[in-house]
A and B are shown apart, each in its own frame.
Chain A
């Protein structure tokens, strides 16, 4: 079945440093979504990428979808303590798959 791998599993950064998490799928995706889960909270949708090579920005967050639609990345510039949490990618292979496959997430800690 479809597998979505996410690295790194953990990342500790000093406040103000940049952060990147990578997502790789074993199959071509029709779209990819990113979610953020704060400690003790529930996943919250951040963004969806659909087109090959697509790049989207949300303030300090930059999301990319690979040309082959098998990988994606989330980059945070100048991290803040409010960025703390676990970031998940979730891929949809389309073709009537009816379900998102989530990566295991990257847990980000920001040291003030």
Chain B
């Protein structure tokens, strides 16, 4: 099993460009999450999903959109990238929302110029 995979691994955007980050998991998890990690800031939740077709906002959702059309995939979109969105993005999935370990993907390092 691959676990949680993310594509791409690295990306450089210019301000105003758009892109989509793809997360895929093969563990049949219901719950999926997108986090961003900035130096000294820990992990902050952007959006999450409790199942196929459902999404919800996390702590820092502004400037991002998500979709969960298939159970195994969770997409994170940036419609108009800004330098403040330069970060490392991690996707994670879990069996349950509460009291369940989260399995993280390898991350996407995004730079917005």
Interface on chain A toward B: helix, strand, loop, or mixed SS? loop
- Closest B residue to A107 by beta carbon equals B40
Q: Does A30 contact B (CB under 8 A)?
A: yes
Q: Does B103 contact A (CB under 8 A)?
A: yes
Query: How many inter-chain contacts with C-beta < 8 Å in the A-B complex?
Result: 56
Return the contact of B40 from the options A44, A88, A98, A104 (Cβ within 8 A). A104
Asked, given contacts A92-B98, A94-B98, whether A42 binds B107 with beta carbons under 8 Å apart, the answer is yes
Q: Does B77 contact A (CB under 8 A)?
A: no
Q: Does B113 contact A (CB under 8 A)?
A: no
- Closest A residue to B35 by beta carbon equals A102
CB distance from A46 to the nearest CB of B (A): 9
Q: Does B101 contact A (CB under 8 A)?
A: yes
Return the contact of B101 from the options A1, A33, A50, A98 (Cβ within 8 A). A33
* A20→B47 CA distance, assembly (Å): 32
Query: Quick one: which of A68-112 are within 8 Å of B by CB?
Result: 88, 90, 92, 94, 97-105
The interface of chain B, by Cβ under 8 A from chain A, is 33, 35, 40-45, 48, 50, 56, 58-59, 90, 92, 97-99, 101-107
Q: List 12 A-B contacts (CB under 8 A).
A: A6-B42, A30-B98, A45-B101, A92-B99, A98-B98, A99-B33, A99-B48, A99-B58, A100-B102, A103-B42, A104-B41, A105-B42
